[in-house]
Amino acid sequence: MVLIHDYLIEQINLNIIIAFTIALIGVLTYRSHLISTLLCLEGIILSLFILIVLLISHSHIAFISITPLILLVFSACEAGVGLALLVTISYTYGNDYVQNLNLLQC
Amino acid sequence: MNFTLNSMILLSIIMLVSPLLYNMLMPHKTTYFPTYCKNMIMMAFMTSLPPMIIFMLYGQESVITNWHWFSITTFNISMSFKLDFFSIIFIPIALYDAWSILEFSLWYMHSDIFIHKFFKYLVSFLLTMIILVSANNLFQLFIGWEGVGIMSFLLIGWWYGRTDANTAALQAIIYNRIGDIGFMLTMAWLMLNSNSWELQNIFSTNMDFIALLGLIIAATGKSAQFGLHPWLPSAMEGPTPVSALLHSSTMVVAGIFLLIRFHPMMENNQMILTTILCLGAMTTLFTAICAITQNDIKKIVAFSTSSQLGLMMVTVGLNQPHLAFLHICTHAFFKAMLFLCSGSIIHSLNDEQDIRKMGGLFLILPITSSALMTGSLALVGTPFLAGFYSKDSIIEAINTSYTNSWALMMTLIATSLTAIYSLRIIYYALLGNPRFSSISPINENNPNLINPIMRLAMGSIFAGFLVTMSIPPMTSITMTMPDMIKLSALLITLAGLAIGMELNSFTNKLMNSMKHTTNFSNMLGYFTYFTHRIYPLMNLYSGQRIATMLIDMNWYEKTGPKGQTNIHSSMSSLLTSTQKGLIKVYFMSFLISITLALMFASMSTNNF
């Protein structure tokens, strides 16, 4: 009997990696609002989460099953910090435009 | 013969316990109690004379071991008395002094309502002193040691309403305690290394330097050597009988007695002997210097005691313990008599202790003044009085032995200073015109005053001769020496007398030229002013610094909350000055760098 390689898992991986890359470009390029950065940051984390879960379920490595949960915990903290910064900025300036953050420009 | 010596000594000690039992069982019968105490001490003295005579005739010594007290695995302690050369001769002398002093206190403390308690304290002191002297093992010796310390505390603070008396008692306890640390060091060393506290076993051990150093520290504390000496002049706050019994004849010689007991161990250790010699020389000179400008008659005699203790220490350091013991015995007589005479003077002048307010007592108190002069002559070593046999032998021994010449010089100078301060007492208290108010009636009619002084005067004159001719010679003395060396003690004393007369006439002519030296001598070399401030001050400062500076400041302000604040704000102020905003530019450059890096990475692996 000949083993036929199934390339489905690699296509799924590629898919999620493309999602990661699109979210990364979204973090790094934005026009005026700061909140878009935070949204795309969540997208990065979501794609990383899916990748780790797929790795665990495809390779049957049961003992690192706790890793996605830890990732979620830290992402929640990180999102909290990001939102606190956003609230501070909009408290000071009234909106979250990026061009407001120019206090240190000479 | 065995029975006589052993049983009579034990009977003598039991006679000392009986007044204490009497007071414990019948505490309400106090009127006859002081005379009862005095009579019991006299009986105890009589009972202890036959053992001394037996020892002098037959040379018999004994060790009595009575009662096995306890044992800790292989370490046994029992109650045992060692009656050898030193204790058999010392016990009758101590009892003779105590008898005279107890009779004197019947006159001196007559108006005190707690006179029975005073006598109880004196008798219990005497009991612990005899325990100390006759102990065969270090545990019993320590019991006696601590006992005399406690009784000294209680008796110095007899007039406890006076702040100075309380301070002096506390000072005595603290300085004695520091000496006890040395004693415990020796006891611990002996327990570890020779597994016994019996003197016989110890005599066959080789004692290390550290163990003998512990004994020296103990002697420094108890016998008021330089370094731990301030308690002895302060102890004059107690009544005169206390000063006479404790701080001149018996308690303060306990330290020297300990060193004399351990002399077989120190014979071959030259370093220890040199330490003892230099310490004793320093003490004798320093305290003699302090004595020559004091104004309180009891303090002069106290410093005289301290100086003679230094001389005894010097003798032990010359490897002549038997000479030191002889000096202890003869010194007990004339020093106690000097204290009793000063007590007589003080009481007659209505409690006046300052010699600048005495004078002209020579014809008013004939017995006291003649006893005072006899005692002073014995103290300076007049030929063929009591002090001569011990003091002159010591000076001869130190002159003819191969020893430290600095110690020799110090001792000789101190000997001449002895003459100076003795003359000071006689000149200010007895000679000249009276400087006291003439209200108090001065007489010597009470036999309780006269008999003790006469008895001790007999002792001061004859005791030296009697004891020297009766004891067996233990060391070989140098019999031949040049004329000057032989007469050196006498010549130095005469020179001291001449200088003393000159110094005493300074007051009459108001010569103030020697201000600095007078202040140094009068204020005891500023020793107490330095040490009593510095040690508590250092301890309090270090306590405050540890609590406030070390703990509070470090944990709260350098590493804790405030420290974190400082670190973070300094770091952020450093970093923020380099940033300029421009977030979009930074993000764009990040994106371009990642893209380029990925392209280069994939191209170099040839998997494109």
Pick from B579, B588, B594: CB nearest A29? B588
Residue A104 has pLDDT above 80, yes or no: no
Q: Flag if B579 and A104 touch (Cβ within 8 Å).
A: yes
Residue A65 has pLDDT above 80, yes or no: yes
Pick from B579, B584, B588: CB nearest A98? B584
Pick from B581, B588, B590: CB nearest A105? B581
Mutation target vs B (from A28, A105, A106; most B CBs, 10 A cutoff): A28
Minimal C-alpha gap between A63 and chain B (Å): 32
Pick from A24, A25, A106: CB nearest B580? A106
Q: How far is CA B25 from the centre of its chain?
A: 35
Q: Flag if A28 and B591 touch (Cβ within 8 Å).
A: yes
CA distance B581 to B370: 107
Contact with chain A for residue B159, Cβ under 8 A: no
Residue A3 has pLDDT above 70, yes or no: no
User: What per-residue confidence (pLDDT) applies to A20?
Assistant: 95
Label residue B117 by pLDDT band (50, 70, 90).
Answer: very high
User: What per-residue confidence (pLDDT) applies to A42?
Assistant: 96
Label residue B249 by pLDDT band (50, 70, 90).
Answer: confident
- Residue B338, class by beta-carbon neighbours within 10 Å (0-12 exposed, 13-18 middle, 19+ buried)? buried
CATH of domain A1-100: 1.10.287.3510
Residue B156 has pLDDT above 90, yes or no: yes
The stretch B3-25 carries a mean pLDDT of 90
Residue pointed to by tokens 């002399």: B263
Label residue B328 by pLDDT band (50, 70, 90).
Answer: very high
User: What per-residue confidence (pLDDT) applies to B184?
Assistant: 95
Contact B268, B187 (CB under 8 A): no
Residue pointed to by tokens 């830290």: A74
User: What per-residue confidence (pLDDT) applies to B413?
Assistant: 95
The stretch B350-379 carries a mean pLDDT of 91
* Residue whose C-alpha is closest to residue B259's, from B327, B173, B192, B157: B327
Q: How far is CA B447 from the centre of its chain?
A: 33
Residue A106 has pLDDT above 60, yes or no: no
The pair of structure tokens assigned to B215 is 């004994």
Contact B415, B496 (CB under 8 A): yes
* Closest residue in chain A to residue B575, using alpha carbons only: A104
Identify the residue with better confidence: B406 or A96.
B406
What residues contact B75, with CB distance under 8 A and at least 6 apart? B191, B195, B196, B197
The stretch A37-52 carries a mean pLDDT of 95
What residues contact B401, with CB distance under 8 A and at least 6 apart? B318, B478
User: What per-residue confidence (pLDDT) applies to B519?
Assistant: 81
**Summary mean pLDDT of chain A:** 89
* Total Cβ atoms within 10 A of residue B427: 18
Query: Which residues in B lie closer than 8 A to residue A24 (C-beta atoms)?
Result: 591, 594
User: What per-residue confidence (pLDDT) applies to B513?
Assistant: 62
User: What per-residue confidence (pLDDT) applies to B208?
Assistant: 85
Residue B320 has pLDDT above 60, yes or no: yes
Q: Flag if B583 and A102 touch (Cβ within 8 Å).
A: no
Query: Which residues in A lie closer than 8 A to residue B576 (C-beta atoms)?
Result: 104
Residue B512 has pLDDT above 90, yes or no: no
Contact B309, B252 (CB under 8 A): yes
Minimal C-alpha gap between A99 and chain B (Å): 9
* Residue whose C-alpha is closest to residue B47's, from B1, B92, B97, B93: B92
User: What per-residue confidence (pLDDT) applies to B225?
Assistant: 92
* Closest residue in chain B to residue A30, using alpha carbons only: B584
Q: Flag if B580 and A27 touch (Cβ within 8 Å).
A: no
User: What per-residue confidence (pLDDT) applies to B193?
Assistant: 87
Contact with chain A for residue B576, Cβ under 8 A: yes
User: What per-residue confidence (pLDDT) applies to B444?
Assistant: 87
Q: pLDDT tens digits, residue range B98-111?
A: 999 999 999 999 98
Q: Flag if A29 and B587 touch (Cβ within 8 Å).
A: yes
Mutation target vs A (from B573, B576, B577, B580; most A CBs, 10 A cutoff): B580
Pick from A25, A98, A105: CB nearest B580? A105
Query: Which residues in A lie closer than 8 A to residue B582 (C-beta atoms)?
Result: 105
User: What per-residue confidence (pLDDT) applies to B43?
Assistant: 95
- Residue B267, class by beta-carbon neighbours within 10 Å (0-12 exposed, 13-18 middle, 19+ buried)? exposed
Query: Angle B261-B300-B377 (CA atoms, 0-180°, nearest 5)?
Result: 75
User: What per-residue confidence (pLDDT) applies to A2?
Assistant: 56
Which of these ranges, A57-61, B473-477, B579-583, has the smallest mean pLDDT?
Answer: B579-583
Domain extent listing, chain A: 1-100
The stretch B247-256 carries a mean pLDDT of 87
Q: Flag if B583 and A29 touch (Cβ within 8 Å).
A: no
Tally C-beta pairs within 8 A across A and B. 28
Residue B36 has pLDDT above 80, yes or no: yes
CA distance B562 to A36: 37
Q: Flag if B581 and A28 touch (Cβ within 8 Å).
A: no
User: What per-residue confidence (pLDDT) applies to B64?
Assistant: 82
User: What per-residue confidence (pLDDT) applies to B336?
Assistant: 94
For residue B4, the SS3 value is helix
Helical pair B393-400 and B321-348, crossing angle rounded to 10 deg: 140
Task: Return the percentage of chain B with pLDDT > 90, whole number.
Answer: 56
The pair of structure tokens assigned to B549 is 């500076």
Which of these ranges, A84-88, B77-81, B299-303, B341-345, has the smallest mean pLDDT?
Answer: B77-81
User: What per-residue confidence (pLDDT) applies to A105?
Assistant: 59
What single-letter DSSP state applies at residue B388?
Answer: I
The highest-confidence range among B59-63, B369-373, B483-487, by mean pLDDT, is B369-373
**Summary mean pLDDT of chain B:** 89
Label residue B359 by pLDDT band (50, 70, 90).
Answer: confident
Residues of chain A that touch chain B, judged by Cβ-Cβ distance less than 8 Å: 24-25, 27-30, 98, 101-106
Q: Flag if B581 and A25 touch (Cβ within 8 Å).
A: no
Q: Give the pTM.
A: 0.77
Backbone φ and ψ of B585, nearest 5°: -60, -45
CA distance B391 to B381: 6
* Total Cβ atoms within 10 A of residue B397: 19
Quote the ipTM score: 0.79
Helical pair B138-156 and B115-133, crossing angle rounded to 10 deg: 160
The stretch B199-203 carries a mean pLDDT of 83
